[in-house]
Structure 1
Amino acid sequence: MLSLATIRKRWASFLGTFVALGLGVTILAMTALVLTSAEPEVPRRYAGTQVVVQSPGVDQSDGTFTPSKPWSQQRTAELLRALGGVPGVAKAVPDRAFYAQAVIDGKPVADPGSELRGHAWSSAAFGPEQLVAGSAPTGDRQVVVDASLGLAPGSPVTLLTVTGPAAYTVSGTVKSASFYVSDSAAEALAPGVRVIGLVTAPGADVSAVAGAAAAAVGGDGKVLHGDALAELEAKSAEKTRWIGMQILIAMAGLTAFVSIFVVASTFAFAIVQRRREFGLLRTIGATPRQIKRMMYSESLAVGVAAGLTGVLLGALLAPALGSLMVEGGLEPAGFTVRFQALPLLGSFSLGLVVAMLGVWSASRRAARIAPLEALREATVEHRPMTRGRWIAGGVFTALGLGLVAVAADSESDSMINNALYAAMALIVGLTLFAPAVIPLIVRLVWWPLSGLRGATSMVARESSLTAVRRTASTAAPVLVTVGFAVLIAGLFQMKATGYALEETVKQEATSVVTAQGTPGLSDAAVAAVPGGASLLPTQLYAGGTDHVGAVGMSDTAFQKARTRMTVSAGSLDGLKGENTMVVKASTASWLGWTTGRSVPVTFEDGRSVDVKVVAEITDNSSTSSVLLTTGTVRAHDPSALTSVVYTAGTTSPSTLAPLGAQSLSTAEYASRTNSEDDDLVQIFLIILIGMSLGYTCLAIANTLLMATAERAADFAVLRLSGATRRQVLRIVASESALAVGIGTTLGLLIAVVTLLGIRSGLSSQLGTNVNLNLPWSTMALTIGVCLALALVSSVLPARMALRRTSARVAV
């Protein structure tokens, strides 16, 4: 009863906790509903197929979302004969997929991303696709296209494939984004097969067909039917969905963490304001355990109310979040949110756990208040730093500085991770040290202004020094947000710039030819850049489920890059012709490959070939695990597209545009982040920074509203002492601006120190100067919002308090 009475009396003090928990439960409920609704779906192309055989899968623990190991042409023919004889199967059809994109008015249209839209006409039965007009393709230069392109049967059309633009004739149209060519033409473009669809006879027993098909393929494939057909989802779509899930999980984790932070800071600041109240309770016989129980009861009551509100809002807003995920490309079209009781119940329960964790530290501090100490002590905090706070702050700060040093000498990937850990440790350390650091900063700020010292500035300075906890409670969330926002945005910019520069430095390029409106560069686009250094990525499959990424390097690219490679065994001169490769030392150790040995490798066409390891290089010599010649890659991977071409010259835009390419300077290329993954990462950053900023605004507003509401008597005394209303408001505004400035300074210090460590490490690794590109727009927005909210949250309540008569309030 006492807890409920306290909440009714001090409802303004609990408003911030209620909003923080309510918002947290709302986000948790939304993300939980979207996560439980996000499941793989059967691709539209296979909507009319009941039984499918998929080639053997590979290990996915490396997070690359590599497709299954393809069958060769010979093995595909054997499986077609075996599956065609299964009772109930009318026809077994291989699904051949290759890159195809229409060129209209001199420009490629409808960038397919990583999706392969070219197929053999026989696989149209999987849909099944119905001709809108015209007929099926028969010749090698006939194609069925999407009716939305507006091309009638008999019209000429240019298709961009891996070899370059090719002239075709439209034989028919369908309502599909795919391009269908004759089976013979598709076999030349996509010899490797990963899926064989079984067209069942009318009335066939699907389960019996699936069982017989499994016996026919043995261990060389996996039979899918029913709900298992969702495993046919493209790896690119699976990767996109996975990134979306990481964003949702990060949202949920950040929500829980910051909710605890806001609740803990609210109750911690409330302890300072309620010391006399707790002292009176101790005086009349309340035990420390009862004080703790009262605070837990207060938090539980607020948590239940906020949890119920959050669950209701989360259920209402979840469909809107699902729509945003679809628009952002993080969920497939047609994705809908399904309402389930378990995610909502879990979100409500987690909200209560957050409420209890947030009040834990504050309740322990309140229980330690002695009756006489609380009754004698003024509102001034004489000991803002406890022994435990000193120790914890020192440990986290030392850990952060150590990780900064470690990050500078780390590899590229571990460098980024170590830098993040370093910044997190430093943020926690400086947040703990804030009450001790703030007096020093306040004196340093006012020392240059000593000659201009007036009554207003003196009162603001002394108020900040005496109410250290209030200043620290306002500065701490600003420190966290500014440091977090600047660090993450700066890391992203530096990582994109550094990794883009890594190959341009090795290739000594002044310009880069890259894709524009296409997923990669065709052979024709590469040939349009004389003397260019090109990279042709592919995938290699070793024994069992092992696989490794490889890149085919042109002679120019290899000759320029080899000067920066460190050979640990063999000779780089051996990389020539077909079926030779250079391997990174870690990859060779993992797969058991040794220099001078020929090892069996399966390529994208499904053929297994013995490839000779001519040299091993150190891991920092190349970004790719295996280096091949472009001739080797093209001989076994007819669908591979070149990623970039590095050149020291320039190429005419009119030549590159019809080929889906563009020429950029190295500076432009390094700053570009327009790939699909980078767009998703940008969304990720915007969400996390936005949530962090939102919660920080809540913490600032809550702290200042609580503090200002309790200072009505102080304002009245100032008025009785001769201060005008404008002077009082100026004092309040100065205190708030000073707190935001302190948090900003400490946050920027942490972010810049960490970013400088990464800059030093990347520059050393790349052998060139990597610029420190601070995210000025993010920085300005974050600081501006924090400052504006701090001023509004302090000045408006102060203005309302000043409306009362000075004498009445002072009493």
Structure 2
Amino acid sequence: MMRLALAGLRRHRGAYAGTFLAAVLAVALLAAGGLLLFSVLTARPPADRFAAADAVVAGAREVTATTVTDKKKGKTKTKTKSERLTGAGTLPPELTARLAALPGVDGAVADYAFAVELTAGGRSVRGADHAPVVGHGWGSAALTPFTLRSGSPPGPGLAVVDADLAERAHLAPGGAVEVTTRTGTRTLHISGVTREVLPAQGALFVADADVAALSGLAGPTAIAVHTADPAAFARAAAPLTGAAVRTGADRVRADLPGALPDYVAPISIFGFVIGITGFAAVFVLVGTVALGVRQRLRELALLRTIGATPRALRRLLGAEAAALAAVAAVPGVPLGVAVAGLIARRFRDLRVVPAQFEVRANVGVALAAAAAGVLLTVLAARIAARRAVRIAPTQALAETAVAPRGAGALRVVLSVLTAAGAVTVLAVVPLDGPLGMGMSFVSCALLLCAVAASGPPLVRGLTAVVGRLAPGAMGRLAGLIARAEHRRIAAVAVPLVLMFAVNATMLLNSALLGDLAAAEQAARTAPADVRLDVGAGLPLGTAAKLVTAADVSGAAATIPTRAVLVSAGKPEDYAAQGLLATGAPALDLGVRSGALTADGLAVSTFLARQEGLRVGDRVPVWLADGFRTELPLTATYERSHGFGDLVLPAALVGAHDPRGLVAALALRTSDPGRFAGSALPPAAPDAPEQQGAWELMVAVSLGFTAIAVVNTFAIATAGRRPEYASLRLAGATVTQVRRLVTGEAAIAVTVGALLGAAVTAVVVGAFSLAQDGTLRVLVDPATYAGLLGGTAGLGLLAGAAAAVRCVR
């Protein structure tokens, strides 16, 4: 069978060229997505600040919830879920001495790590690759170790900076920097510069006596221990600390979480890339293989006349597909490695992934991508061959072989099931939550499956209308042929539907979220007369002095943070704000129930609905450093886009967030001109990066589906050479034949655009309704028109180019 399959591939090189190209691209994109996901899952911090220590004691760096479920026969099932924190809790100050007194311990060093906003010469200074700057006491410098390249250790009012910060800010011993922490802003003079640099964080060291005043920490964030037997120390220290004892490679997790690269978001992004790629690959491969099989109907009928069974033909087509995909994997995998590198580079530029992220080659991932490509191609061949292999042997003698009818009931069932699944997702899943974008793509994919399953009858109905609108004699003939050959038109139109609907859904929904964030930000701050741009951040104490000024009648200061709620045994992390409000309202959150209070909790209407919360409930909340508190729910609000789902007391957030700085300040005043600078802070600091990530994924998807469209048109047109030759023999001119082919392409493009617009309208409309109750379909008319015009233009160009080549 394999020898026969290879002979078939050699004989039908032209027919299988398109399938080969589609398989190469499918393997390349699967390999790229797989390598990106593998790399982000196995990524490790680039450096360990506790490299010179043998063990490190630190508090929890995540919120963990454990649920026990009773099963049958007296058995129980235990499930543990964790959520990463963005801050670090403190340890008792006296714990350092107790640990140092344990047998086998040669010394213990307390490390106070705190976020720092550094300014030199009026310019904000960051570490390498825009890394945060973290402050420490000089006593913990030896834990890395950091050593002095120049200058001397810091004394009171002095600081040591690492070599990278010194180079970026042109600092040297004797210079001065301005340091802002949650306790205030101070000017420190540089006493020295270190020789070492950590790639993921800038380091600033102050005198140990200044740490408490600068950091506001009640105790160390970690305690490093020198011991000859870390395992024995861990056993002895466990009863004393009540905290984790980390040894070996796990020591790095004791660092301040904000100083370590965060790979949580990239995991979902790259997983999404694989989902889009796999879905598009199935569509593209099924379409190209189906067209190739249709061109060989007479050959399949001839094989039936000499005794081949449908099962044998399925095996033959499957073997051909497997051999073709195996060969396609040879160039596809290296191409995927190159594509992964390009995507990673662009994502680093957009700051969607940490600057230290690198793609790691892996043989297992490459082989898995190749195997997935082979499996998808074989699956496509099986689907395409389902009806074709039942062709009657007498069709070998017919002038035109036609695939047998049938499978109508199966198509109806599949289309109904997938459409019902899409409706269920759109109606049941909360699209206004964090899963909204992903679930909108799932619903789009289900609707596209419904369109593909019911493609021929749908296309037949549309061509009956569109075909009659074609002008001229050749246009009318094109309409008649399109209605008669609706299955071929469907095979050409479905890639166009895929190309428009998937990419339009991603772009329009992403643009909608950005527009809503901007609109709600404007509505939130509308009551204010002045909206101060506080730069890198403002200490809460400084903001409190501003809001109590004599001519300020109302003010609102917000501190961005993250908070964790536990729902059904699963911790969930949410964007939150600490709010300090005084006087007349300067911030309008669109409160729907209750009222904002100075010591209560407010949640978005989405979160209240999701968690079943009501005003008056007491809600347990874990703050950024893991501190657990229980607050009364006093209000729910609707303007949460670009703001956050929880509002907490500002003093509470300032005490437990690693930065704890005011990011936005809105004032109501009779003298706006007195306040310098009234620039509005951005509504969502990560919106440009998120939009850039979506645009990059759209670019990848567009490239793949665009090639699929060109490929499909080329295969469909090439298979009709005998038909065009018959028209030429009957007296048709080359121009007339080209007009006929162009007319058919125009009909296919119109049908594809209509179906794609319908799918997009359903998904984008439902997503828009879920956000704020407003039905939108276009969202961004320019983007919509550009995608629609580009899809139609590509289809017409592909059809015309194929016709010119074929007729010539």
Name the TM-score class by shorter chain: 0.7 to 0.9
The share of aligned pairs that are identical, in percent, is 26
The Cα of 1:196 is off from its aligned counterpart by 2.3
**1:327-338 correspondence to structure 2 within 5 Å:** 327-329=349-351, 332=354, 336-338=358-360
Aligned to 1:566: 593
What is the rounded CA distance, in whole Å, between the counterparts of 1:589 and 1:756 in structure 2? 21
CA contact (8 A) 2:584 2:668 kept: no
CA contact (8 A) 2:604 2:637 kept: yes
SS state of the match for residue 172, structure 1?
strand
Aligned CA-pair RMSD: 4.3
Match of 2:23 among 16, 21, 24: 21
Aligned to 1:483: 501
Match of 1:386 among 405, 408, 420: 408
What one-letter code is carried by the residue in structure 2 that aligns with 1:174?
T
- Please report the TM-score for the alignment, with normalisation by the length of structure 2: 0.82
The Cα of 1:164 is off from its aligned counterpart by 5.8
CA contact (8 A) 1:55 1:194 kept: no
SS state of the match for residue 223, structure 1?
strand
Q: Deviations over 1:129-180 (max 9, x none)?
A: 2223322221146554622111222223323334665332222223542222
What is the rounded CA distance, in whole Å, between the counterparts of 1:539 and 1:251 in structure 2? 26
Q: Deviations over 1:725-779 (max 9, x none)?
A: 3333333233223322322222122212332233333334xxxx69766345554
What one-letter code is carried by the residue in structure 2 that aligns with 1:691?
V
1:180 aligns with 2:209: no
Cα distance change of structure 1 residues 185 and 468 upon mapping to structure 2, 3 Å threshold: same
The Cα of 1:352 is off from its aligned counterpart by 2.2
Match of 2:799 among 782, 794, 800: 794
Cα distance change of structure 1 residues 731 and 47 upon mapping to structure 2, 3 Å threshold: farther
The Cα of 1:321 is off from its aligned counterpart by 5.7
Match of 2:762 among 748, 753, 760: 753
The Cα of 1:483 is off from its aligned counterpart by 0.9
The Cα of 1:425 is off from its aligned counterpart by 2.7
What is the rounded CA distance, in whole Å, between the counterparts of 2:563 and 2:758 in structure 1? 45
Match of 2:462 among 437, 441, 451: 441
Aligned to 1:277: 299
What one-letter code is carried by the residue in structure 2 that aligns with 1:796?
A
Cα distance change of structure 1 residues 252 and 199 upon mapping to structure 2, 3 Å threshold: same
SS state of the match for residue 155, structure 2?
coil
Match of 1:460 among 463, 478, 483: 478
What is the rounded CA distance, in whole Å, between the counterparts of 1:751 and 1:502 in structure 2? 25
Single out whichever of 78-87 and 783-792 deviates more from structure 2.
783-792
1:83 aligns with 2:108: no
Aligned to 1:739: 748
Aligned to 2:77: none
**1:520-539 correspondence to structure 2 within 5 Å:** 524=542, 530=552, 531-538=554-561
Match of 2:274 among 240, 249, 252: 252
The Cα of 1:373 is off from its aligned counterpart by 5.3
What is the rounded CA distance, in whole Å, between the counterparts of 1:196 and 1:500 in structure 2? 40
Match of 1:51 among 33, 55, 64: 55
What one-letter code is carried by the residue in structure 2 that aligns with 1:70?
G
Aligned to 1:211: 234
What is the rounded CA distance, in whole Å, between the counterparts of 1:80 and 1:542 in structure 2? 32
Match of 2:716 among 707, 718, 723: 707
Aligned to 1:555: 581
Cα distance change of structure 1 residues 654 and 5 upon mapping to structure 2, 3 Å threshold: farther
Match of 1:196 among 222, 227, 231: 222
What one-letter code is carried by the residue in structure 2 that aligns with 1:474?
V
The Cα of 1:490 is off from its aligned counterpart by 1.3
What is the rounded CA distance, in whole Å, between the counterparts of 1:261 and 1:786 in structure 2? 17
CA contact (8 A) 1:470 1:703 kept: no
Cα distance change of structure 1 residues 780 and 383 upon mapping to structure 2, 3 Å threshold: farther
Aligned to 2:76: none
SS state of the match for residue 157, structure 1?
strand
CA contact (8 A) 1:494 1:771 kept: no
**1:722-737 correspondence to structure 2 within 5 Å:** 722-737=731-746
Alignment coverage as a number of residue pairs: 767
**1:129-148 correspondence to structure 2 within 5 Å:** 129-140=146-157, 142=159, 144=161, 146-148=165-167
Single out whichever of 704-713 and 550-559 deviates more from structure 2.
550-559
SS state of the match for residue 153, structure 1?
coil
Match of 2:515 among 477, 481, 497: 497
Match of 2:727 among 718, 725, 728: 718
Cα distance change of structure 1 residues 132 and 216 upon mapping to structure 2, 3 Å threshold: farther
CA contact (8 A) 1:485 1:689 kept: yes
CA contact (8 A) 2:592 2:637 kept: no
What is the rounded CA distance, in whole Å, between the counterparts of 1:269 and 1:464 in structure 2? 16
CA contact (8 A) 2:492 2:712 kept: yes
What is the rounded CA distance, in whole Å, between the counterparts of 1:369 and 1:260 in structure 2? 24
What is the rounded CA distance, in whole Å, between the counterparts of 2:431 and 2:211 in structure 1? 46
Q: Deviations over 1:631-653 (max 9, x none)?
A: 44445658312343445789989
Match of 1:110 among 109, 121, 126: 126
Cα distance change of structure 1 residues 564 and 359 upon mapping to structure 2, 3 Å threshold: same
What one-letter code is carried by the residue in structure 2 that aligns with 1:133?
S
SS state of the match for residue 566, structure 1?
strand
The Cα of 1:236 is off from its aligned counterpart by 4.9
What is the rounded CA distance, in whole Å, between the counterparts of 1:539 and 1:333 in structure 2? 22
SS state of the match for residue 178, structure 1?
strand
What is the rounded CA distance, in whole Å, between the counterparts of 1:412 and 1:547 in structure 2? 12
What is the rounded CA distance, in whole Å, between the counterparts of 1:346 and 1:596 in structure 2? 50
What is the rounded CA distance, in whole Å, between the counterparts of 2:231 and 2:426 in structure 1? 61
**1:242-641 correspondence to structure 2 within 5 Å:** 242-314=264-336, 323=345, 326-329=348-351, 332=354, 336-372=358-394, 375-376=397-398, 378=400, 386-401=408-423, 403-405=425-427, 412-413=433-434, 419-445=440-466, 447=468, 453-499=471-517, 501-502=519-520, 505=523, 508-509=526-527, 513=531, 518=536, 524=542, 530=552, 531-538=554-561, 551-556=577-582, 564-567=591-594, 572=595, 575-576=597-598, 581=601, 613-617=631-635, 627-634=647-654, 639-641=659-661
The Cα of 1:105 is off from its aligned counterpart by 4.3
Aligned to 1:70: 89
Aligned to 1:685: 694
Match of 2:679 among 641, 650, 662: 662
- Please report the TM-score for the alignment, with normalisation by the length of structure 1: 0.81
What is the rounded CA distance, in whole Å, between the counterparts of 1:541 and 1:412 in structure 2? 15
Q: Deviations over 1:584-619 (max 9, x none)?
A: 99889989999598x9988678888x86x4555568
What one-letter code is carried by the residue in structure 1 that aligns with 2:745?
S
What is the rounded CA distance, in whole Å, between the counterparts of 1:635 and 1:237 in structure 2? 18
CA contact (8 A) 1:396 1:428 kept: yes
1:40 aligns with 2:44: yes
What one-letter code is carried by the residue in structure 2 that aligns with 1:56?
A
CA contact (8 A) 1:190 1:639 kept: no
Single out whichever of 273-282 and 141-150 deviates more from structure 2.
141-150
Aligned to 1:7: 9
SS state of the match for residue 662, structure 2?
coil
Cα distance change of structure 1 residues 647 and 384 upon mapping to structure 2, 3 Å threshold: farther
What one-letter code is carried by the residue in structure 2 that aligns with 1:663?
L
Single out whichever of 268-277 and 317-326 deviates more from structure 2.
317-326
What is the rounded CA distance, in whole Å, between the counterparts of 2:445 and 2:666 in structure 1? 38
